[in-house]
């Protein structure tokens, strides 16, 4: 399956990544190759095979509902580029 | 041309767990910003979320209370989008295999029962909060990130603002009764999204819909729907098409406005959450949840009518809140006067609650105090009028009604010998009234009764006073 340049740009937009035209050309062929590889799966007869909902053969891993200590504020903000008045500071969001 | 309104709703309710959905941070409301955060809910790399068992249990209970099918197998998925209130850049939610599907809720509209279909209920996590108090940026509080939610999605079965409000109240009530959410509107723990379209009356073709998100009061819900339906009908009558968009409701101005300029086409690219394993509930577990469901509002209402002989209206009002119903039941257990208890709870107490800005849970007195007050009216210690004054005092603080009546000297004078002395004197002092009665003017009794009440500062037991007045006047006339 080959994907178009517009599709590459669309996916890049969703991921908030910008590319120049050369990179888009390169990604178009690389992503197409990945998708063509995955196309092989379409050739397998899956008649009567239950869909895989999860790759691990495990179910029901639960936690008890107990509140415990959270992180100290200085740890919470350790990777934050900017903070103000106890909040993570980000560029102004207009709702 | 007349138009039909078609509404579907999405209701988000925060679940009443102690800890978050995938980590042990507290869900307590109102903490200092970012003090309920950890690597899991901050979305730091390399962490492993583990689902809170209560979230699964509460979601299943909510589904059962809303007559849904509970899935034996469900799973979590990632819903991908960027927004500053979502540190992980995806919301963990459920996509194709939600925990509950296909329910119905019956609502009463103008005395008729109408079913509203529930499409699905799924489990998801809440996002953080954006604070717009910085001059040159936006501040993010992550305390709410990962607070567990259920999202209830309805069929487009709602046809008016009134129906939407009744439905929303019923959902709130049911979730509150079931104990899965505290449904505090003022804390945003239940929020309503509305999808609305209009179509020519009787037409089968649905119109283009708009969406309004995060309406956080019943009043806002009702007004936003009225406004939006009117707006769409006006547009159509002018020949303008309806644009599919998200609109923002401004409750202060009472208008909605388009958000389309900032909105992008959403492509959430859902995929199964690899870090969380499927949730499998056996039929036995589901049956156990069903058996453990508490009495729901409509069952309670029917019981109140049957067991306490209450009018339908009273039963409806008393059961409209879990806490009012509890107070009623605890009071009636102490004094077998359901209608009297109902009157106090429906008529006399609410204005005081409103004035003090408290809920029935925060009353400064208990069911046993209300029972004591009613008992004093029943046994003639105080009149209904005085009882209202006692209630005002009860709202002021710690004292029990009996102590208040004693301290204020408000007990009715029911001591016949004491009253006889007072009345004898009044009859002596008012020979004209006695003469009037002798000549057949019964109205003069009213004057004498008034004098007795005046002399006793309104505390004479009226029934007893009347009897004695008649006796004394008869003696006088001979
Ligand atoms: Zn956490």
Q: What is the pLDDT of residues B64-88, one digit of tens each?
A: 999 999 999 999 999 999 999 999 9
Q: What is the pLDDT of residues B270-324, one digit of tens each?
A: 999 999 999 999 999 999 999 999 999 889 999 999 999 999 999 999 998 889 9
Check if the beta carbon of residue B79 is closer than 8 Å to that of residue B135: no
Q: What are phi and psi of B188, to 5 degrees?
A: 70, 20
In chain B the domains, ranked by start, together with CATH numbers, are 3-286 (no CATH), 295-408 (no CATH), 416-477 (1.10.10.410)
Give CA–CA dist B361/B349, Å, rounded: 12
Interface check B92 vs A, CB under 8 A: no
Confidence at residue A5, expressed as pLDDT on a 0 to 100 scale? 94
Which burial class, exposed, middle or buried, applies to B436 when counting CB atoms under 10 A from its CB (0-12, 13-18, 19+)? middle
Question: pTM, whole model, 2 decimals?
Answer: 0.82
Check if the beta carbon of residue A78 is closer than 8 Å to that of residue B44: no
Confidence at residue B472, expressed as pLDDT on a 0 to 100 scale? 87
CA of B39 to the centre of ligand 1 (A): 6
Confidence at residue B460, expressed as pLDDT on a 0 to 100 scale? 82
Give CA–CA dist B193/B80, Å, rounded: 20
pLDDT exceeds 90 at position B96: yes
Strand duo B210-215 + B246-250: pairing: parallel
Give CA–CA dist B118/B102, Å, rounded: 6
**B 220-259 residues with CB below 8 A of A?**
248
Give residue limits of the domains in chain A. 5-42
Q: Which of A56, A66, A90 sits opposite B18 (nearest CB)?
A: A66
ipTM of the complex: 0.92
CA of A72 to the centre of ligand 1 (A): 12
pLDDT category, B459, cuts 50, 70, 90?
confident
Interface check B31 vs A, CB under 8 A: no
Residues of A in contact with B39 (CB under 8 A): 71
Question: What token pair was written down for A68?
Answer: 């415990």
In the sheet that holds B210-215, the strands lie side by side as B69-70, B100-109, B112-125, B148-154, B3-14, B190-200, B210-215, B246-250, B255-258
Confidence at residue A95, expressed as pLDDT on a 0 to 100 scale? 64
User: Mean pLDDT over all residues of chain B?
Assistant: 92
Interface check B53 vs A, CB under 8 A: yes
Place of tokens 């079913």: B115
Q: What are phi and psi of B407, to 5 degrees?
A: -60, -40
Confidence at residue B262, expressed as pLDDT on a 0 to 100 scale? 44
Q: What is the pLDDT of residues B249-281, one digit of tens each?
A: 999 999 999 886 444 557 899 999 999 999 999
CA torsion, ordered B97, B99, B104, B105, to nearest 10 deg: -140
């Amino acid at each position: 399956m080959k994907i178009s340049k517009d599709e590459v740009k669309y996916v890049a937009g969703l991921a908030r990544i910008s590319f120049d035209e050369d990179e888009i050309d390169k990604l178009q062929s690389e992503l197409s190759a990945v998708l063509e590889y995955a196309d092989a799966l379409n050739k397998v007869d899956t008649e009567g095979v239950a869909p895989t909902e999860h790759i691990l053969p495990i179910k029901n891993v639960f936690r008890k509902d107990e509140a415990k200590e959270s992180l100290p504020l200085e740890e919470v903000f350790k990777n934050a580029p900017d903070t103000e008045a106890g909040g993570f500071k980000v560029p102004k969001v207009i709702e | 041309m007349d138009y039909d309104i078609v509404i579907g709703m999405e209701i988000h309710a925060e679940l009443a767990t102690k800890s978050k959905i995938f980590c042990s941070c507290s869900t307590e409301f109102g903490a200092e910003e970012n003090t309920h955060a950890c690597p899991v809910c901050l979305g730091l790399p390399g962490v492993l979320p583990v689902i809170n068992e209560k979230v699964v249990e509460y979601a299943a209970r909510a589904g059962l209370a809303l007559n849904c099918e509970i899935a034996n197998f469900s799973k979590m998925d990632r819903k991908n989008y960027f927004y500053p209130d979502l540190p992980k850049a995806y919301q963990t939610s459920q996509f194709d295999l939600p925990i509950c599907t296909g329910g119905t809720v019956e609502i009463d509209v103008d005395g008729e029962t109408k079913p509203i279909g529930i499409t699905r209920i799924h489990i998801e996590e809440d996002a953080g909060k954006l604070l717009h108090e910085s001059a040159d940026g936006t501040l993010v509080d992550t305390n709410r990130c990962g607070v567990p939610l259920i999202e209830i999605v309805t069929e487009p079965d709602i046809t008016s603002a009134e129906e939407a409000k009744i439905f929303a109240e019923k959902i709130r009530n049911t979730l509150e009764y079931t104990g899965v959410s505290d449904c505090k509107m003022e804390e945003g723990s239940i929020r309503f999204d509305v999808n609305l379209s209009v179509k020519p009356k009787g037409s089968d073709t649905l119109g283009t819909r708009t969406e309004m998100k995060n309406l956080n009061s019943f009043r806002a819900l009702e007004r936003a729907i009225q406004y939006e339906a009117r707006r769409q009908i006006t547009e159509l009558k002018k020949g303008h098409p309806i644009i599919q968009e998200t609109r923002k409701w401004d409750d202060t101005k009472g208008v909605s406005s388009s958000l389309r300029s900032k909105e992008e086409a959403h492509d959430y690219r859902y995929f199964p959450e690899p870090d969380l394993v499927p949730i499998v509930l056996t039929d036995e577990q589901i049956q156990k949840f069903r058996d453990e469901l508490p009495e729901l509002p409509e069952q309670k209402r029917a019981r109140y009518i049957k067991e306490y002989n209450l009018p339908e209206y009273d039963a409806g009002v008393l059961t409209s809140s879990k806490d009012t119903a509890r107070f009623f039941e605890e009071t009636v257990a102490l004094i077998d006067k359901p209608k009297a208890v109902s009157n106090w709870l429906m008529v006399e107490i609410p204005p005081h609650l409103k004035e003090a800005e408290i809920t029935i849970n925060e009353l400064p007195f208990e069911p046993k105090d209300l029972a004591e007050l009613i008992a004093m009216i029943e046994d003639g210690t105080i009149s209904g009028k005085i009882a209202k004054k006692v209630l005002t005092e009860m709202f002021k603080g710690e004292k029990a009604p009996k102590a208040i009546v004693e301290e204020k000297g408000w007990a009715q004078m029911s001591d016949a010998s004491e009253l006889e002395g007072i009345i004898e004197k009044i009859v002596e002092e008012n020979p004209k009234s006695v003469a009037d009665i002798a000549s057949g003017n019964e109205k003069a009794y009213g004057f004498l009764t008034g004098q007795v009440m005046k002399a006793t500062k309104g505390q004479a037991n009226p029934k007893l006073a009347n009897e004695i007045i008649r006796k004394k006047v008869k003696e006088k006339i001979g």
